[in-house]
């Protein structure tokens, strides 16, 4: 692959690696393994070769990017400890999301290896959370958080910092404040991310598929199709009550020095209402540009490189064939950036980083669509 000159930086500032597709949960809203998840159609699950991951990490280390893992469940990856060690010894930050069910078993090793931050997924008090994520999950995660905190205290370590990600769905919208203010010890946390359920309309997904077919020769868009929801499922949410809860949790975090991230960023009733009714044009946080293709490279468990945080239907290369930096500087990447300078994809409003603001807070990559 012959590098070309462009206005892109020499290397991505943010490298996200999907280590594997396997997950030990079947969360109902997950676009991978949920009720409408695209991974159910896979004949065989993919997993990146450890040597290939380490080679890619070491290629990037001189440029000092921030790293993030993804899955499936990243902690199921057999070589995760070698990859963490390579990243941290190379002087780079590492954050990754986890469903939290394996924290208790690996608490001591996580503290010893010291990833910068873990984003733990919880969606409400025990009954509400387990309705979405599976029976007994809440208790397992809470035991893991406590074990990790005990290991940090014993080692006198700050890392890994802990964040909670909470995906607001019709099932848990009434329980946001109850969970954060009464259901969990906020002193354990350094950050909180509350994200309204990501979704796309069928019309958006169809328009996106047509754009990829016309401009990039992509025949199928299974990732996008996994996000399709009818906005009517959100009509039962009390928008005033939800907004009040979000503001209350934000204030509680500010009072305690906890970094707070929300999707969307503007917590006003009409903004929330417009989000859940797919009235994207009326939203305060609507943007016409996205910085992600100029700062972020994402590598799937199949080796495919994309820039989009949510939709991996448009690969720009594969690390089995070329190095990440060759792909980053290559012609296919230039073609994608040139397209996005003129317009966004029809489905971009279904991306959590679109509404949260690129770079405002490295939020976890979500599977909770």
Share of the chain above pLDDT 90, in %: 75
In this predicted structure, what is the pLDDT of residue 37?
62
141-192 pLDDT, tens per residue? 999 999 999 999 999 999 999 999 999 999 999 999 999 999 999 999 999 9
In this predicted structure, what is the pLDDT of residue 360?
36
332-368 pLDDT, tens per residue? 999 999 999 999 999 999 887 788 654 333 444 444 4
Does residue 6 surpass a pLDDT of 60?
no
Dihedral of alpha carbons 19, 22, 27, 32, sign: positive
Is residue 324 very low, low, confident or very high in pLDDT (cuts 50, 70, 90)?
Answer: very high
In this predicted structure, what is the pLDDT of residue 29?
64
DSSP 8-state code for residue 322? S
Does residue 91 surpass a pLDDT of 80?
yes
Mapping DSSP to helix (H, G, I), strand (E, B) and coil, where does residue 234 land?
helix
**Other beta carbons less than 10 A from residue 255's beta carbon:** 9
Q: Output the pTM of the full model.
A: 0.88
Does residue 196 surpass a pLDDT of 90?
yes
302-316 pLDDT, tens per residue? 999 998 867 788 999
Going by DSSP bridges, is the β-strand pair 117-121/161-168 parallel, antiparallel, or unpaired? parallel
Q: Measured between alpha carbons, how far is 148 from 109 in angstroms, rounded to an integer?
A: 10
In this predicted structure, what is the pLDDT of residue 323?
97
In this predicted structure, what is the pLDDT of residue 222?
85
Residue 357: exposed, middle, or buried by beta-carbon count in 10 A (0-12, 13-18, 19+)? middle
Structure tokens at 359: 């770079």
The overall longest dimension of the chain from CA atoms, in Å, is: 57
In this predicted structure, what is the pLDDT of residue 355?
82
What per-residue string of b and e applies to 22-33 under the rule 16 or more CB within 10 Å gives b?
Answer: bbebebbbbbbb
38-64 pLDDT, tens per residue? 676 677 889 999 999 999 999 999 999
Does residue 260 surpass a pLDDT of 60?
yes
**Other beta carbons less than 10 A from residue 9's beta carbon:** 12
Is residue 7 very low, low, confident or very high in pLDDT (cuts 50, 70, 90)?
Answer: very low
């Amino acid at each position: 692959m012959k590098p070309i000159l462009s206005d892109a930086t020499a290397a991505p500032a943010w490298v996200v690696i999907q280590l594997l597709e396997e997950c030990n949960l079947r969360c109902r809203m997950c676009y991978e393994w949920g009720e409408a998840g695209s991974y159910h159609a896979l004949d065989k699950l993919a997993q990146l070769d450890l040597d290939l991951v380490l080679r890619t990490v070491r290629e990037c280390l001189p440029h000092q990017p921030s790293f993030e893992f993804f899955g499936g469940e990243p902690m199921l990856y057999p070589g995760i400890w070698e990859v963490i060690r390579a990243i941290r010894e190379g002087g780079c930050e590492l954050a990754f999301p986890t469903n939290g069910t394996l924290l208790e078993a690996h608490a001591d090793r996580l503290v010893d290896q010291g990833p910068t931050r873990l984003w733990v997924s919880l969606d409400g008090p025990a009954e509400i959370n387990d309705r979405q994520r599976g029976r007994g999950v809440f208790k397992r995660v809470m035991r893991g958080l406590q074990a990790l905190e005990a290991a940090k205290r014993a080692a006198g370590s700050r890392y890994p910092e802990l964040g909670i990600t909470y995906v607001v769905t019709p099932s848990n919208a009434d329980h946001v404040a109850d969970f954060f203010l009464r259901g969990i010890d906020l002193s354990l946390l350094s950050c909180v991310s509350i994200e309204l359920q990501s979704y796309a309309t069928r019309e958006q997904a169809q328009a996106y598929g047509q754009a990829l077919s016309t401009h990039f020769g992509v025949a199928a868009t299974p990732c996008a199709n996994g996000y399709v929801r009818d906005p009517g499922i959100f009509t039962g949410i009390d928008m005033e009550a939800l907004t009040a809860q979000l503001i209350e949790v934000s204030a509680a975090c500010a009072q305690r020095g906890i970094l707070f991230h929300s999707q969307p960023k503007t917590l006003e009733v009409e903004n929330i209402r417009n989000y859940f009714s797919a009235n994207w044009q009326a939203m305060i946080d609507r943007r016409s540009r996205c910085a992600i293709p100029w700062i972020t490279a994402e590598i799937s468990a199949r080796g495919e490189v994309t820039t989009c945080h949510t939709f991996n239907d448009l690969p720009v290369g594969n690390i089995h064939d070329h190095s990440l930096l060759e792909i980053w500087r290559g012609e296919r990447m230039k073609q994608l950036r040139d397209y996005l300078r003129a317009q966004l994809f029809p489905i971009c409003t279904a991306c959590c980083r679109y509404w949260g603001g690129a770079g405002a807070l490295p939020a976890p990559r979500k599977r909770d669509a």
